[in-house]
């Protein structure tokens, strides 16, 4: 073989060995990437299984809560009804309180008028009895439109009466 051909042959072998090394590296890297992806898929699958278990637990708990809520619903309705009745009763109590205050004020006013009226009637009776026999009893009206019982002529009043 000639020396140039021997050089070419050596260079070709060197090129093929380096190309083989390069391709081996590429295939190894690709293989490692596939192994990594396989591990990631396994982990993802495990995570999805965990999430599925969590979802099943949540679903079960939600059903339990829904059943409990359904069981408690009549009591909750009763509580709502009682709240509404308490509010209505409270409003009625406020109205009754206001009415009783007005009634009490009217009663006190009437009581004062009755006391004044009774006192005036007693004075009138006494005055009338004193002056009935002597003939000096007369009744007239003042300028303020009040009835006035006059005795001993028209100058000395015995009793002023509210009309």
43-62 per-position pLDDT tens digit = 999 999 999 999 999 999 99
Q: Determine the Cα angle at 67 with ends 65 and 69, to 5°.
A: 65
Strand (E) or helix (H) holding 139: strand 138-141
Phi first, then psi, for residue 146 (nearest 5°) are: -110, 140
pTM surpassing 0.75? no
Neighbours of 124 (CB within 10 A): 16
Question: What is the mean pLDDT of the segment spanning 90-101?
Answer: 94
Structure-model confidence comparison of residues 131 and 35, the more confident one: 35
Structure-model confidence comparison of residues 70 and 131, the more confident one: 70
Percent of the chain with pLDDT over 90: 58
**pLDDT value of residue 101:** 93
Residues 155 and 119 sit within 8 Å (Cβ to Cβ): no
In the chain, where the domains are located: 76-163
| Residue 51 structure tokens | 């999430």
Pair type for strands 147-151 and 156-161 = antiparallel
* The CA-based dihedral angle spanning residues 149, 155, 157, 162, taken in that order and rounded to the nearest 10 degrees: 60
| Residue 36 structure tokens | 């990594």
């Amino acid at each position: 073989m000639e020396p140039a051909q021997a050089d070419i042959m050596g260079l070709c072998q060197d090129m093929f060995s380096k190309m083989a090394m390069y391709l081996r590296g590429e295939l190894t890297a690709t293989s490692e990437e596939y192994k990594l992806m396989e591990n990631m898929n396994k982990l993802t699958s495990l995570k999805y299984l965990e999430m599925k278990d969590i979802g099943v637990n949540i679903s079960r708990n939600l059903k339990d809560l829904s059943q409990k809520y359904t069981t408690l619903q009549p009591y909750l309705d009763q509580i709502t009804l009682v709240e509404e009745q308490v509010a209505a009763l409270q409003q009625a109590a406020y109205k009754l309180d206001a009415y009783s205050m007005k009634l009490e004020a009217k009663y006190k006013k009437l009581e004062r008028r009755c006391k004044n009226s009774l006192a005036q009637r007693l004075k009138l009776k006494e005055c009338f009895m004193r002056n009935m026999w002597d003939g000096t009893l007369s009744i007239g009206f003042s300028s303020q439109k009040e009835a006035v019982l006059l005795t001993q002529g028209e100058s000395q009043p015995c009793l002023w009466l509210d009309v």
